[in-house]
Chains A and B, each alone.
Chain A
Amino acid sequence: MTTELFEYLLRLGDNSLVLGHRLSEWCGKSPILEEDIAISNTALDFIGQTQLWLGLAATVEGQGRSADDLAMLRDVWDFRNLLLVEQPNGNFGETIMRQYLFDAWHVLLLDGLTRSHHQEISAIAQKVVKEVRYHIERSRDLVIRLGDGTPVSHEKMQIALDRLWPYVREMFDVDPVEHTLIEQGLIPDTSTLRAAFDAEVLKTFATATLTLPSSNFAHLGGKSGKRHSEHLGHLLTQMQWLQRAYPGATW
């Protein structure tokens, strides 16, 4: 069970780390100052969450590695994040769409994790879910404003949805790692969260005048680590270069 738990905590931590890093790429470059601050705040929330999840992962592993070691010294094939979060930022609308799809799942997952039989998991989830409730407030609002905005913003949001929708199913895909933990009452069964997720996003997209893609095609292989997209490697070279170039550097 320890192996599965470590694996699963890496998934939680890597989702936060990779998405947090992606959002930090907007720092200083957002369309307007206020959004720049808001998006950087969100990025920091995710890095904070990463410390908690990867910190717990390191404890569970018990090999003397720290959260920093896990974040900075693993290579692409060891990462367990969803394919969705490693997708490039694209335009601002695409970033917001990626964020909304993630938030809509994340808030349901964390809500389930608050009831975990694992004390630390439950405690972290209770702390984090508050931040995440605000994240979805913001991303949902922006999806609606941009989707139901000008013809240009509407078109960009529809393109973003069409491009990112195939990454949604991975979030609800339950594999043997998760099965083991579900049976122990440590994590919620994400497949049971799909109905609530669909209700949330369908309502938002209807208000945002966006059309859900009809294709059921899905990209898989991020959280199992089997098939990351080429984008993750490029992200890691940016994120990890300092520790790679100057091992053990601190400040």
Chain B
Amino acid sequence: MTEPKAPEWPLWEVFIRGQHGASHRHVGSLHAPDAEMAIKHARDVYTRRKEGVSIWVVPTTAIAASNPDMKGPLYDPSDSKPYRHPTFFDIPKEIGTM
């Protein structure tokens, strides 16, 4: 007889902002019983080498994802439309890099 396994802690997605002004980027996921502990765990798992200045955690179940089967209809139509890239515009020198 094996004892019934305790339910696993919920999964959280972790986002780290590398430096002020930059946006938060997804870095991975981890288990934690609640948001507070998820942030603590994220600090220990993902920011040991000074990777970040800010942490977001989001319950994985709160993320809605696009359907991989819809890849064709969703993304293929933009294949033949290079004019949608802004590279065709001449940027005046005084503007500098954008």
Contacts and interface: CB of A to CB of B under 8 A. Distances in A.
A38 interface: yes
Main secondary structure, interface of A, reads helix
B9 to A, nearest CB: 7
Contacts of A141: 36-37, 40
Interface string A32-75: 11100110010000000000000000000000000000000000
A38 B36 CA distance: 14
A133 interface: no
B31 A34 contact: yes
Chain A CB within 10 A, most for which of B9, B33, B41, B44: B44
B48 A41 contact: yes
A34 B44 contact: yes
Interface of B: 9, 30-33, 36-37, 40-41, 43-45, 48
Contacts of B37: 141, 145
A138 B32 CA distance: 14
Contacts of A34: 30-32, 41, 44-45
Interface in A110-155: 134, 137-138, 141, 145
Nearest to B43: A134
B40 A32 contact: no
B31 A38 contact: no
Chain B CB within 10 A, most for which of A34, A37, A145: A34
Please provide the 10 A-B residue pairs with the shortest distance between their CB atoms, ordered closest to farther: A38-B44, A34-B41, A41-B44, A37-B44, A37-B45, A34-B30, A34-B31, A138-B40, A41-B48, A34-B45
Nearest to A42: B44
B40 A38 contact: yes
Contacts of A38: 40-41, 44
Nearest to B48: A41
A55 B40 CA distance: 31
